Structure 1
């Protein structure tokens, strides 16, 4: 009798599911919510800060992983790009040549306490930021990482920061995405809807090869372009089309490289090594030095760092505006 009643109930439930076009039996059998490694307990969402002002920040996260205890010796708060590429260099952790308290480098922040974080317990990060001198809307994006192991999953930690008073005309003129290159400071800004989401060091044209100021758009993407004239490769090439004169031969790309014979005795067994001038040798490629960034040494193109150009190449859609000042 009990089995007969159960059979009727199950038949009714399956019949109802069939009518709805799905083969499941109510919520008891639904997939569980995806597990994430951490949850945000507290953070500043919106800040106002004056140009050059130093401000203290507190971020608290909870260990919500299935079974992982966070080792405090490798737990860090890392910077990311808005497209989730990791290790975005941040301008907010430096006061001149000095690293501000809480920061370990331009892309890492240490936890406030030297103790492991058990399941369901919290980790706290206290650190200082210093606003740039340039007014505008900025966004800093973070994600926790267990160094040399893996990045933790969860919602990115986003802090929106307004620096100084912003003219209304700048807000109205905001583009969905745009790149602004400042030749005087050798930096490039990535903007989303008028908000600066990354400020990165660049290298524009040296004396005699000055990168022309003007308004451009991204005209194409070539993963590895080759320069016959200079006999080198330009990774993550994005051609620049001047809005008035068309393509003038300039582009944005990562630090150029030369392809090296893997049997070369000079480079054998030295993959990942950095040579004089900050030249990285990796995957049979010898890159121009990181020391070039922040200094105008190119033949007219705008160079970004190796990793940074990977993130930029994925972020910058064809057709977005590029302003060179």
Structure 2
């Protein structure tokens, strides 16, 4: 199956209900699959956690949906609209005087456990994230729109 959306997803979304849906993330194949009533309705390439920042394997469910989420951990320190220190982990890098933390954007965020979720982001074709599951923006929006809080998420090796 190619990494494109299966045509019937549009029809499913037009009909409303989201019961019978689940997301399966394969870390080995670096892809996420959306199922409805056991049938594949969408497949997307992903970028999962890089070495040392592994995406947790297990059975979860969507516990938060946030269309314009920002990271509370990773981002930049900004002063007067200008970045003064970029790509920081604010737990490890002290904030420069007079600056504020601005979390990296994580559009269409679907939290499934702790600090982990699926969201739009850079998908270079290999594990590169800090543990989240990144999808191309158009796929992230489709997955976001197709599920609700409580939708099962399975992350497997």
Which residues of structure 2 form unaligned runs of 5+? 12-18, 76-103
Aligned counterpart in structure 2 of residue 182 of structure 1, from 26, 39, 42: 26
Counterpart Cα distance in 1 of 2:66 and 2:144: 9
Is 1:249 the counterpart of 2:93? The answer is no
After superposition, the C-alpha distances for 1:142-164 in whole angstroms (9 at most, x for unaligned) are 7xxxxxxxxxxxxx6xxxxxxxx
After superposing on structure 2, the runs of 4+ consecutive aligned residues of structure 1 that deviate more than 3 Å are: none
Q: Larger strand proportion, structure 1 or 2? A: 2
- Give the number of the structure with larger relative contact order, counting CA–CA contacts within 8 Å between residues 6 or more apart: 2
Scaled by the length of structure 1, the TM-score of the pair is 0.35
Aligned counterpart in structure 1 of residue 73 of structure 2, from 229, 242, 252: 229
Counterpart Cα distance in 2 of 1:198 and 1:223: 19
Aligned counterpart in structure 2 of residue 312 of structure 1, from 128, 133, 143: 143
Scaled by the length of structure 2, the TM-score of the pair is 0.69
Q: How far 1:298 moved relative to its partner?
A: 0.4
Q: Which moved more, 1:221-230 or 1:311-320?
A: 221-230
**Which runs of structure 2 are paired with 1:1-325 in the superposition (5 Å)?**
91=2, 140-141=6-7, 176-231=20-75, 232-241=104-113, 248-255=114-121, 288=122, 290=123, 292=124, 294-325=125-156
Q: How far 1:198 moved relative to its partner?
A: 1.3
Root-mean-square deviation (Å)? 2.2
| Number of equivalent positions | 120
Bigger Rg, structure 1 or 2: 1
Counterpart Cα distance in 1 of 2:47 and 2:21: 21
SS of 1:238 mapped into structure 2: strand
